[in-house]
Structure 1
């Protein structure tokens, strides 16, 4: 277990966090995936089968129907595989409780309502929803349905007795020819997108350009694979554990350790803790257009791996003495009309946050901004073809550049591209 046992540097310092006496006990994580082998000898102790549910077959049996649907079982192992039983591995939060939510794994399209139900399933019981699923990579803009959006709002407002549940999402596997801002779940205000680093201390080759990504953990690359649980009570260590799907559950489990250290944390406090404790180290994100920057708040930030590698020990240590953040304010500017034809020209319009702050309002009054958590830009544009050639860059008053959208070659394939209009919200952390 090179990703946890201090065999490599940098690492997520999970072993050091365990030395604080933390193991995820008392924290419930809903694994939203393609099902889980509930009687796996390394998982059965920590799975709450009574409260698990299958939204495909509409019953409580979350065991996958197909032998190929091992994804959720492997994801769960990274979170909650039992400690000290000589089977497979040990999960990061190895004493946490898992509720399985089977949502994917069928050829039948999933409705917005079904996704919403999965993302709010047993809301009164769940602390963290770990999501290693999403739309296809590299092509189209995939919106978050209205009902799913409402479910996320309910989660952060009503979950954990008003402190809000934590939604962790895998940031996507499209590589640098893709951008996570085209995924409505990843770019959402209420989610924590997590991406991947390989053992070579580089952003994994499948990690996307992602201005909304918070942080990264290790995942498999060809040089070295993760190990986890799989179907038929087996262990697995191969290329099937390749992707941000297997970084997100490690992040979910680290969050579980932080919530165990301080149960008073709100969903926003968790985001702040990730930002303040993630580390740049010597990670090479491979994004030549814009290398690592130090933003206006003094944090190192990457266009691909966010604020760097998660640090479990630093996160739980800070969580213990953390002062809860103030109430969140939503501030909006007036619409900036450009009304210009791009015609393959560059820099058609440059509008910085400083230009907009004079018109930013919050519920009818001036909104004084001391710090920003996320910036969301609503953009409306039309195109005749080659939508994937579109680039959108946001620059802050302190000079921090966010690549909100970058070229996506497959989204410029004219076989998929007709004249249309786009009204989309782009996000940067």
Structure 2
């Protein structure tokens, strides 16, 4: 778990719990929220608004504070049990009367928000799967029905309505192995049939809700991925040790047939075991191999030590038979904190005569940012988040749900998807499950497998692949592609260094010299006893920051930056310098951490050249863009070169969009849907012509990213600039914005907007897309300056040339600009 908003109460409480003493924060400021302020300016006396009133101090709302609400004439509302907050409906006059009290800290509008777990189940296609009447098991949507999933975690709160014991959580085990309490070797013991085993952290209940919560306390709004699955909680408390988790594996093996255990979800990591090779003798690897051999799919979180290379938290997450999950957000991006592997690193091990290949990378990516799920009733962590949760969900849901971020949230999402797949076919092996997940994943633009695995999970396609084994998926994924053009890289320099930190005074930092031919700079550190973050500042002043070495985040930290020639500055900062919380408003310190020298590892990677680009001349104006697009795998060359000046064909655009624009695979797979399409392009063309193709379109309800008629695709026709504007903007899921456009198409030059002279040549349904492509800097306009013999000032005219055909070089330029958006 990663609490992305390390601020106010949560930050302070977490640090105090870690044994740190900080100066108090003066965060109190009388404020009327911006939304309610705007609404009140136009309100009538009869209008009522849902607002959240927060009082000064930290005590719960008592009779004295409640009298302020009542004296304003407000009769009803919901008050929180621990925090000084109450949600009410009130008129303008009532709000103003309450706000006048010196005991009121703020009044905030209870605005509807989209930060929900149903956003997670939308982007991965779980919601689409449920809605598809053609995908049913015994007349019912797939829900993981009958599949036992072990939550090997801090425990599960079976008193929560979404994961009720013994109906939904079918077994709940309390187990904690304290070796210091034992005077002799005894069999492992645990207590079964416990209503609530999540008595400290709240982490396991949140995980259980993501896997299979039924959403009972929110009318289904925060339903998990596989609400039909049988949850088995194995809780060892908030502080886990390896022996505790091994106990969970052991329990799953011992009771596999009692509860049809087919999946075990593990959202923990060993931050002292980062950057290490897979070791088959690790006890965790021994345990998970036995589980895999017995038909149990093992799922791990990748870790929260990103964004640098080699930050996966545990060699056991690299086992060939486990699924390791990176964290993405709900728009299809990779979370900055998500742990990465090492490019090209792996090996082969022999286990019982079987040759198995391991790779240092995640398997797949799933939602792990701002995920709402079950709040444990006795959770100390959840209590700290009440204030933030009241800002992002309905006040009546706050007692039952909380928002967390981390790969801890991504792993159970995949565990739920695996349960759906096993319901569709219980005979699947770990190899088949892992292959299907990867072959149905969606490419993530500009990211490679060592960062995100095969890409973003697609539950809809995965279950479809299980149900209809005749469909061939995977032909559009980067993981299965043999690229004709590639960037060739090597390690230019790799060395150990130190960077000093002091809470006061000038931290000059450590200098790193980067040569012009370098392409990437990476710095990492393993910090077990300090609250440090690293930052890199480029010669031009760009700053890149790492995660923070905190007990709840992990001790391995790393930062990666695109290389820029010159002298870089590496600095260490205390938590106040990187967390985003102003714990030192006077600026007299460098943040809070213990002074000392931090050992770091510096790695500089350089690009040695490119394959497949021999026909791109050294003076070609798009050469740098082509190389950038190739290095980020946004485009590919043909078998006979890149052919930069050849016109881009529609079938090539389909291929490039699936490669680098975040387009989901089609469930038609490689079926030939258009009579004029060659089979080699059918998978890409089916993908770009399906409804809801853009990964960013989480509801999967927008028009395709390429337009066509019902029977013909015209694959060898050239692509116009207007058509390209449509495809790239639609891939950003901006259909609604484009559709609302009206008026003239304009472009900015020297802080002035100029109207396109040729806008009449652009079809009406594409005008909004052209405007957005210009505003986002994806495509350019063409300027001409005319000045007559007697004109005092020149006249600037602008054209878009929407009917002009796009070359392959043109697309590489646009794709690079698109990627930056």
- Normalising to structure 2: TM-score of the pair? 0.35
Distance 1:24 1:65 in 2: 23
- The match for 2:157 is 37
Q: CA deviation at 1:92?
A: 0.8
2:525 touches 2:599 (CA, 8 Å); kept in 1?
no
The answer to which structure, 1 or 2, has the higher relative contact order (CA under 8 A, 6+ apart) is 1
Distance 2:458 2:420 in 1: 11
1:409 aligns to 2:545 (yes or no)? no
Name which of 278, 294, 297 aligns with 2:441.
Answer: 278
- The match for 2:265 is 130
Q: 1:9 to 1:261 in 2, by over 3 A?
A: closer
Give matches, 1:337-352, under 5 Å: 346=491
Higher share of residues assigned strand: 2
Question: Residue 298 of structure 2 aligns to a residue in which SS?
Answer: strand
Name which of 289, 298, 302 aligns with 1:171.
Answer: 302
Q: CA deviation at 1:4?
A: 6.0
Deviations 1:33-53 (A, max 9, x none): 000111211111310126x45
Corresponding residue pairs, total:
321
Deviations 1:5-48 (A, max 9, x none): 4x689810101222322011111100000001112111113101
- The match for 1:227 is 372
Greater shift in the superposed pair: 203-212 or 24-33: 203-212
Greater shift in the superposed pair: 228-237 or 107-116: 107-116
Structure 1's unaligned 5+ residue stretches are: 285-290, 293-300, 324-344, 349-382, 388-402, 419-429
Q: CA deviation at 1:236?
A: 2.8
Deviations 1:401-427 (A, max 9, x none): xx9xx7522369998979xxxxxxxxx
Q: 1:415 to 1:29 in 2, by over 3 A?
A: farther
- The match for 1:213 is 362
Give matches, 1:9-408, under 5 Å: 11-19=123-131, 20=135, 21-44=141-164, 45-49=167-171, 52-56=173-177, 58-60=190-192, 67-83=199-215, 86=218, 89-106=222-239, 110=243, 114=247, 116-118=249-251, 120-124=253-257, 125-136=260-271, 141=276, 146-157=282-293, 159=294, 164-177=295-308, 179-181=310-312, 183-210=314-341, 211-220=360-369, 225-232=370-377, 234-238=399-403, 241-280=404-443, 283-284=444-445, 291-292=446-447, 301-322=448-469, 346=491, 407-408=523-524
Q: 1:242 to 1:110 in 2, by over 3 A?
A: same
Greater shift in the superposed pair: 133-142 or 90-99: 133-142
1:23 touches 1:92 (CA, 8 Å); kept in 2?
yes
2:271 touches 2:314 (CA, 8 Å); kept in 1?
no
Distance 2:147 2:463 in 1: 14
2:152 touches 2:235 (CA, 8 Å); kept in 1?
yes
Distance 1:13 1:254 in 2: 10
Q: How big is the alpha-carbon RMSD for the aligned residues of Structure 1 and Structure 2?
A: 3.9
2:274 touches 2:311 (CA, 8 Å); kept in 1?
no
Q: CA deviation at 1:120?
A: 3.3
Q: 1:182 to 1:132 in 2, by over 3 A?
A: closer
Q: CA deviation at 1:110?
A: 3.2
Q: 1:138 to 1:202 in 2, by over 3 A?
A: farther
Distance 2:317 2:422 in 1: 22
1:215 touches 1:307 (CA, 8 Å); kept in 2?
yes
Distance 1:140 1:307 in 2: 20
Distance 1:229 1:8 in 2: 14
The structure with the larger Rg is 2
Structure 2's unaligned 5+ residue stretches are: 1-113, 136-140, 178-188, 342-359, 379-398, 471-489, 499-519, 528-555, 558-595, 601-821
1:279 touches 1:310 (CA, 8 Å); kept in 2?
yes
Q: 1:271 to 1:229 in 2, by over 3 A?
A: same
Deviations 1:280-308 (A, max 9, x none): 1xx45xxxxxx44xxxxxxxx43211111
